[in-house]
Amino acid sequence: MERGNPGIVSCPPVASGRIPPGQIDAMYWYFPRVRAENLLISYFLGNVAPQNGIPEGVYDINRNFSLVIENVTDSDEGTYYCRVKPKLRMVVDGQVTKRVKVSPKEPFPDVTQCTERISETACEAELPNDIKKPRLTCIVRDAKPAVALRWLLEHSDGDTQLISDRFTVKPSEYSVNTYTTSASIPIMASTVYMYRCQAYGEALGARNGSHVTVTFTTAPYTPQKPREHGMYCSRLIQ
């Protein structure tokens, strides 16, 4: 479930088709345990009602008999329990565990040395030629759970070669209960290379495996002109 968005929790006996929605007389949703004080909301013969003093609009039960959480927060992470009473049958129990995720902000992954973002999956980086040990650093900020990163060398024919799968995870500085992942690699400061940073993890959802290809060049060397000795001396004389 995405933090800050509506969340849907399906009841396994209903979602699997074991109990058709039209056969349900009553339903009860619990969190985080099956106790009377943990009853969130109930359904009985067409009437949906929040329980235990929970205000209207926090939870709902939709037509598929799934629990709807109107605004997901970190405290909604855990195991939910449903109890279903079909017509002329005994009560059936089900449970499902949900995690709360936070998708990183775009663009991701982001290479800090890129001077121009050409497209969603490509950028250019030009490093000064006076850097002795140039590096490329890839970052994915403010995600939950933390994502993983790896660096690959990308060849002109599209093949890739793994360079490094080492990365560092730290708590995000400006986003509560999220994580920032970074990965750096040294590069050889000569000619043109194409490097790919790839991100993968649960927080990326459908965009798991997102990448950015960096075309790396070194700035052309510009020799400094030596000072003219005569002009320098004349200034001293003046």
Tens place of pLDDT for every residue, the chain, 238 residues? 999 999 999 999 999 999 999 999 999 999 999 999 999 999 999 999 999 999 999 999 999 999 999 999 999 999 999 999 999 999 999 999 999 999 998 889 999 999 888 998 999 987 777 667 788 999 999 999 999 999 998 887 878 899 999 999 999 998 999 999 999 998 865 555 789 999 999 999 999 999 999 987 766 555 555 555 443 333 333 4
Tell me how far apart the alpha carbons of residues 162 and 47 are, in angstroms, rounded to a whole number: 57
- Domain end: 98, 121, 142, which one? 98
Domain coverage including residue 60: 7-98
Q: Determine if the pTM surpasses 0.75.
A: yes
136 with 69, same domain?
no
Contacts of 41 (CB under 8 A, 6+ apart): 28, 29, 48, 49, 50, 51, 54, 59, 60, 61, 67
206 with 168, same domain?
yes
126 with 192, same domain?
yes
76 with 145, same domain?
no
* Structure confidence at residue 237 (pLDDT): 38
Q: Is residue 235 assigned to a domain?
A: no
- The tens digit of pLDDT for each residue in 116-167 reads 889 989 999 877 776 677 889 999 999 999 999 999 988 878 788 999 999 9
94 with 118, same domain?
no
**Other CB atoms within 10 A of residue 19 CB:** 22
Q: Is residue 231 assigned to a domain?
A: no
86 with 125, same domain?
no
66 with 119, same domain?
no
Q: Is residue 35 assigned to a domain?
A: yes
132 with 214, same domain?
yes
21 with 85, same domain?
yes
Number of structural domains (the chain) is 2
Tell me how far apart the alpha carbons of residues 119 and 197 are, in angstroms, rounded to a whole number: 14
Could you give the angle at the alpha carbon of 22 between the alpha carbons of 34 and 89, nearest 5°? 55
